[in-house]
């Protein structure tokens, strides 16, 4: 699991909305390229930074909000940059623009990528390595809990959005018991799954086995820093709520906040950006308070 990290030069700098600039960056984990987007606030020397970890079948920009045509993570990065906070959002290996076939995904690999991304940030010379935060959404919340527990870097605040707390159970409910059992028994051959929203994916047995290898509740006991958990009472992916989010706080020791709203797993994004923006603002305020 020990990542081999190679810092590489950013390929491009592209101006976005006022107050920030974005760069496409890459680093290597176990000989494979991970692609990320570094968002740097203009006019801020040595800014604090947040690492964003995406959810299952997601990517570094995350779900596009239809009304504003902007990914939720891309929007968060832009809004936080306006408050002077940098961010790095990555595609895990086997996802998005990073190397590898999605069918070979495992949660252990995602954790290794998150740990390597923190290493990249700390060694990049672009941000203040002593002021780091982390955000993980859904499966990225499970990954984020493990990254926060295992990293050698000091993380000043962690925010988990609709985090998975029992990944095997959540995926079994999403796929159906028979398909889940087929995946476990496939012996490394890809198993095709139709997701509730109609998309088809293929995964190998390694993914199904990895769901039992990471326990977010156990991991969070080893992270002593401030913890923000956001959950929605209309979430039908990670449920029931708010109890599924509260359990992380029950096993965590330290400053914490439970953010509960009448929202679904994607923070009512298909109804507009209002709830997403409240979540981004609440998360930013929590992280900013603890960075300072």
pLDDT in the model for residue 175: 96
pLDDT in the model for residue 1: 34
Left if phi > 0, otherwise alpha if psi is -120 to 50, otherwise beta: which for 188? Answer: left
Sign of CA dihedral 240, 246, 248, 250: negative
pLDDT in the model for residue 21: 86
Residue entry with tokens 């809990």: 145
Q: Which residues contact 152 (CB under 8 A, 6 or more apart)?
A: none
Q: Which residues contact 213 (CB under 8 A, 6 or more apart)?
A: 106, 107, 108
φ, ψ at 70 (rounded to 5°): -140, 135
pLDDT in the model for residue 199: 93
Burial letters for 239-275: b for 16+ Cβ neighbours within 10 Å, e otherwise?
bebbebbebbbeebeeebbebebebbbbbbbeeebeb
Q: Which helix (H) or strand (E) segment is 209 a member of? A: helix 205-210
pLDDT in the model for residue 275: 98
pLDDT in the model for residue 12: 33
Say if residues 109 and 94 touch (Cβ distance below 8 Å): yes
Q: Which residues contact 53 (CB under 8 A, 6 or more apart)?
A: 90, 92, 110, 114, 134, 135, 136, 137, 140, 141, 143, 144, 147
Q: What is the 3-state secondary structure (H, E, C) of 92-103?
A: CCCCCCCCCCHH
Say if residues 19 and 80 touch (Cβ distance below 8 Å): no
List the beta bridge partners of residue 50.
87, 133
Residue-by-residue pLDDT tens, the chain, 292 positions: 333 333 333 333 333 333 468 999 999 999 999 999 999 999 999 999 999 999 999 999 999 999 999 999 999 999 999 999 999 999 999 999 999 999 999 999 999 999 999 999 999 999 999 999 999 999 999 999 999 999 999 999 999 999 999 999 999 999 999 999 999 999 999 999 999 889 999 999 999 999 999 999 999 999 999 999 999 999 999 999 999 999 999 999 999 999 999 999 999 999 999 999 999 999 999 999 999 7
Task: Domains for the chain: give ranges and CATH numbers.
Answer: 12-167+215-291 (3.40.50.1820)
């Amino acid at each position: 699991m020990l990542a081999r990290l190679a810092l590489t030069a950013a390929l491009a700098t592209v101006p976005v909305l006022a107050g920030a600039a974005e760069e496409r960056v890459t680093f290597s984990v176990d000989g494979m390229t991970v692609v990320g987007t570094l968002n740097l606030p203009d006019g801020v020397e040595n800014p604090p930074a947040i690492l964003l970890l995406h959810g299952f079948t997601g990517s570094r920009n995350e779900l596009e909000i239809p009304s504003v045509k902007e990914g939720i993570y891309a929007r968060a990065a832009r809004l936080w940059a306006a408050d002077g906070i940098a961010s790095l959002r990555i595609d895990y290996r086997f996802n998005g623009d990073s190397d590898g076939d999605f069918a070979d995904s495992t949660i252990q690999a995602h954790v290794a990528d998150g740990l390597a991304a923190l290493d990249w940030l700390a060694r990049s010379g672009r941000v203040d390595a002593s002021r780091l935060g982390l955000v993980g959404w859904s499966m990225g919340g499970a990954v984020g809990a493990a990254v926060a527990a295992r990293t050698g870097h000091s993380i000043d605040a962690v925010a988990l959005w609709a985090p998975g707390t029992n990944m095997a159970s959540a995926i079994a409910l999403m796929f159906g018991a028979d398909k889940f059992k087929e995946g476990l028994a496939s012996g490394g051959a890809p198993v095709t799954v139709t997701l509730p929203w109609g998309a088809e994916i293929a995964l190998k047995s390694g993914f199904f086995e990895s769901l039992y290898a990471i326990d977010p509740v156990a991991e969070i006991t080893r992270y002593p820093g401030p913890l923000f958990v956001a959950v929605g009472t209309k979430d039908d992916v990670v449920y029931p709520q708010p109890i599924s989010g509260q359990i992380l706080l029950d096993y965590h020791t330290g400053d914490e906040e439970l953010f509960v709203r009448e929202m679904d797993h994607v923070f009512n994004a298909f109804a507009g950006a209002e709830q997403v923006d409240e979540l981004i603002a609440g998360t930013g305020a929590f992280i900013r308070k603890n960075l300072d």
